[in-house]
Chain A
Amino acid sequence: GQQLNQSPQSMFIQEGEDVSMNCTSSSIFNTWLWYKQDPGEGPVLLIALYKAGELTSNGRLTAQFGTTRKDSFLNISASIPSDVGIYFCAGLQGAAGNKLTFGGGTRVLVKP
């Protein structure tokens, strides 16, 4: 089946740092979504990408949809403590866009 490979699996951030994570696939997806999951909660949508090459921002978050529709990155600028959590990329295939295929997640932790 389709797989989304997300990296890094985990990262430590220090307040004020910029962080970056990415997601790659061997399959083409029509829509890429980035979600954040806090402990004990459901995924919350951060950014949605629809067109190849699209670059979209949401506050301190910026994400881009790769030109081949097989990859995407998410950047967080000037990180703050509440950025801690698990970030998932998720892709949809087909016009109906039924099921989301999720990446393995990037766990963002605060540097001790």
Chain B
Amino acid sequence: EPEVTQTPSHQVTQMGQEVILRCVPISNHLYFYWYRQILGQKVEFLVSFYNNEISEKSEIFDDQFSVERPDGSNFTLKIRSTKLEDSAMYFCASREGLLAKNIQYFGAGTRLSVL
């Protein structure tokens, strides 16, 4: 069964460093998402992406964050200068299209630890 894959599974970085989290959405999907889950808390929406542009973003997604689809398969989340409070699980999700039944499929996540 097709799945969303994320790499790395765990990323450790120093505060102030840039990190890039990578995702390969399901191949025929058109809508892509990033969510964040701080330890013990609920999953929070960060950004949605369609047709090579951001379609919606939350207030968490400030100027330190950016997303990119550099080729036909990858979807990345970049955090320019990490802060301690960026430590969380980051989930990528994808959805087939408008006619698909609004179902978003999630990857296993990348655990980001900022020291």
Contacts and interface: CB of A to CB of B under 8 A. Distances in A.
B43 to A, nearest CB: 4
A65 B64 CA distance: 38
Interface residues of B, number: 27
B100 to A, nearest CB: 10
23 contacts: A30-B102, A33-B103, A35-B106, A40-B108, A41-B109, A42-B106, A42-B109, A43-B91, A44-B106, A45-B103, A45-B105, A48-B101, A48-B102, A48-B103, A50-B102, A88-B42, A98-B55, A98-B56, A100-B43, A100-B45, A100-B104, A102-B43, A104-B42
B18 interface: no
Q: Which of A44, A48, A101, A102 has the most chain B CB atoms inside 10 A of its CB?
A: A102
Interface of B: 4, 6, 31, 33, 35, 41-45, 48, 55-56, 58, 91, 93, 98, 101-109, 111
Interface of A: 30-31, 33, 35, 40-45, 48, 50, 88, 90, 92, 96-105
